[in-house]
Amino acid sequence: MTEMKLKAPFEARLSALRAELARRGLDGFVVPRADEHQGEMVAARAERLAWLTGFTGSAGQAVVLRAEAAIFVDGRYTLQVGLQVDTRLFAPLHLIDSPPGDWIAEHLAGGRLGYDPWLHTEDQVAQLKRNCAKAGSEAVACEDNPLDAVWGDQPDQPLAPVIAHPLEYSGKTSSDKRHEVGAKITEAGAAAAVLTLPDSLAWLLNVRGGDVPRTPLPLSFGILHADGRFAWFIDARKLDGGADGALGAHLGNEVNVRPPWDLGPALDALSGRKVLVDAATAAAWVFDRLRAAGADILRGDDPCLLPKACKNDVEIAGAKAAHVRDGASLTRFLAWLSVAAPSGGVTELAAARRLRSFREENPEFRDLSFDTISGSGPNGAIVHYRADAASDRTLGAGELFLLDSGAQYPDGTTDVTRTVAIDRPSDEMRDRFTRVLKGHIALATARFPVGSTGSQLDVLARLPLWQAGLDYDHGTGHGVGSFLGVHEGPQRISKLPNRVALQPGMIVSNEPGYYKTGAYGIRIENLVTVVESPARAGDERPMLEFETLTLAPIDRSLIEVALMNEAELDWLDAYHARVRAQLAPHLDGAALAWLDEATAAISR
């Protein structure tokens, strides 16, 4: 009965939305889990899918028709959707196996389906229109979102203060960045680029903010002209003292702060000009407006993506400092855990809180970089697990504990996973852990020619698992920002095709894993940065390699030494020696003693 009560508000919300749609002459409406920037992290105001359905996953979409409604989620969320959503109201469907297009074509014959052009890319709208056409229906852009009209207590747009990201962290002035990116816009034959990705804007302007959780982003839009001038569409209340305040000096006189509602007229003013827009991420609204204004649209990648991904020397130095700090906090936690867990009193949530409190001791700590994944035993096998009061379990003896966490510091963003054995692990656990570690080392030590992509390298991390008929169903590495998103592109280490070559300064994760459903999960994740590989006698090609940034012991009790070759053991010992050398100055007492033991060379 409690459950029924909990679900009750969703019935009323759905009814209210349907009434609003009827009032507007619409037969349906699409509610994606998306904001105006197609960001991974969205503000509370943009959590429309969660408000309407109860589903809180990071991807999904509902379609509401007059008499029926459905929610579409991917394989990660098929369990979760059943727990969170009243499936009498919303039929739960698989985003890939039963795509919304097919469902719309079947259930909406000859009607008008509304969508918010701010919440879909142009390609998504084109797909929607094709699907509606198949059903003899019409997809209609709504000028304002009908769901917002019935969401009485919808939060306002966030107004977190924008702060300067100074040169000591950014390593390059906004002016230099704007002129360099401007030159790329000229090269592409365009006069200006419309920027809609908040992390591109934060990088370009050397600012940070707090409009979304876990990523220090201000939400805003911008137009970068080829000559480096920049029009920034942002609520001036977020700027310290307004556009003329302290931040104004940081921005300089080529950045013109304008209110958000000026974006439309500014797009209109691009009439007849060639304008670069990233079709993968810009809202359909932007395309509609530019097209109506008679601009010549050039579809291409956001020109900030690649320079943002290639960190400069100052950013890399910052990342290294952040990783020493973060590694010391994680080591304090692991030392504490080694005593606390075997006595049986530590739960997943308590462990995550404790780790956070160690990190918070650093004055530079700003936030976590994502919600900690703290999974013991079978919960560790759920790749996107987030512990809550209902799922929370005590770390038990003979179990594995998987802990994936990270933090935001002004000089860098961290993301690290360690898997530790609580008491004695089984032989199978040690076999699996060692294979994951061998894959991790193969990637960490890879040497590859300039021009190689992460897609080419992905297999190195999987091979030791493949040899035993095992694998994992996620990518091997994602890009990481500099005091920005913990997930950023355009590079990626994945079996999926990716044409972006790895380049010096890029930061990516190295995180192979293994998951045994109902039993345990293993993942070993370090961040690495791409560096030029020192030339060796006989080299004929310029080569690259990775330098590992993350510093934290890897649980030696989980290593089956007989499965490791000499080179792998050498790497591990050298890594541990470096961890010890870099972290010891920041530790003392029991934590230091634990570090010494945890990083001792493997006996062979």
Name the residue nearer to a second copy (CB basis): 414 or 455.
455
Measured from the CB atom, the residue of 353 and 495 that comes closer to a second copy is 495
Cβ closer to a second copy: 395 or 457? 457
Of residues 259 and 542, the one with the C-beta less far from a second copy: 542
List the Cα angle 281/286/292 in 5-degree steps.
Answer: 145
CA 65 and chain centroid, separation = 32
Q: How far is the CB of 219 from a second copy (least distance, A)?
A: 34
Shortest Cβ 30–a second copy spacing (Å) = 25
Residues 530, 506: Cα–Cα separation, whole Å: 6
| Nearer residue to a second copy within complex by CB, 384 or 447 | 447
Gap between the Cα atoms of 295 and 193, Å rounded? 12
C-beta of 604: minimal distance to a second copy in Å?
A: 17
Shortest CB 296 distance to a second copy, Å: 13
* Nearer to a second copy (CB atom), residue 162 or residue 442: 442
Neighbour count for residue 389 (Cβ, 10 Å): 7
Number of H helices, E strands in the chain: 19, 28
* Least distance to a second copy, CB of residue 271, Å: 22
Q: Which is nearer to a second copy, 174 or 455 (CB)?
A: 455
Buried b (16+ CB within 10 A) or exposed e, 308-323: bbbbeebbbbbbbebb
Instruction: Give the 3-state secondary structure of residue 544.
Output: strand
Tracing tokens 């904001």 back to the chain, one arrives at: 35
Phi, psi of 197 (to 5 degrees): -85, 120
Compute the distance between CA of residue 24 and CA of residue 141 in angstroms, rounded to an integer: 12
- Residue 540 CB, nearest distance to a second copy (Å)? 5
What sign has the CA pseudo-torsion 123, 35, 208, 363?
Answer: negative
What is the closest distance, in whole angstroms, from the C-beta atom of residue 489 to a second copy in the complex? 16
C-alpha 595: how far from its chain's center? 31
In the complex, minimum distance from the CB of residue 36 to a second copy, in angstroms, rounded to a whole number: 31
* Residue 45 vs 134, nearer CB to a second copy: 134
C-beta of 133: minimal distance to a second copy in Å? 14
Q: What b-and-e string marks burial along 562-601, b requiring 16 or more CB atoms within 10 Å of the CB?
A: ebbeeebbbbbeebbeebbeebbebbeeebbebbeebbee
- Residue 249 neighbours by CB distance under 10 Å: 10
Smallest distance, a second copy to C-beta of residue 134, A: 12
Compute the least distance from the CB of residue 457 to a second copy, in Å: 6
CB under 8 A, 24+ apart: contacts of 128-134: 128/30, 128/101, 128/104, 130/101, 131/100, 131/101, 131/102, 131/104, 131/105, 132/104, 132/105, 132/108, 134/101, 134/105
Pairwise CA distance, residues 115 & 128, whole Å? 9
Task: State which residue, 172 or 516, has the beta carbon closest to a second copy.
Answer: 516
Q: Judge whether 569 and 602 are in contact, CB under 8 Å.
A: yes
**116 vs 458, beta carbon nearer a second copy:** 458
Between 102 and 148, whose beta carbon lies closer to a second copy?
102
State which residue, 102 or 392, has the beta carbon closest to a second copy: 102
For the chain, the farthest-separated pair of C-alpha atoms sits apart, in whole angstroms, at 76
Q: Round to whole Å and give the CA distance between 49 and 409.
A: 31
CB 279 → a second copy: shortest distance, Å?
A: 18
C-alpha closest to that of 138 among 176, 102, 111:
111
Smallest gap from Cβ 566 to a second copy, in A, equals 11
Residues that bind a second copy (CB under 8 A): 446-449, 452-453, 455-460, 463, 466-471, 495, 497-499, 533, 535-536, 538-541, 543
Q: Which residues pair with 546 in a beta bridge?
A: 530
Residue spans of alpha helices (H) in 35-141:
48-53, 78-84, 100-107, 122-134
Per the rule left: phi > 0, alpha: psi between -120 and 50, beta: everything else, 518 is: left
Considering beta carbons, is residue 349 or 470 the nearer one to a second copy? Answer: 470
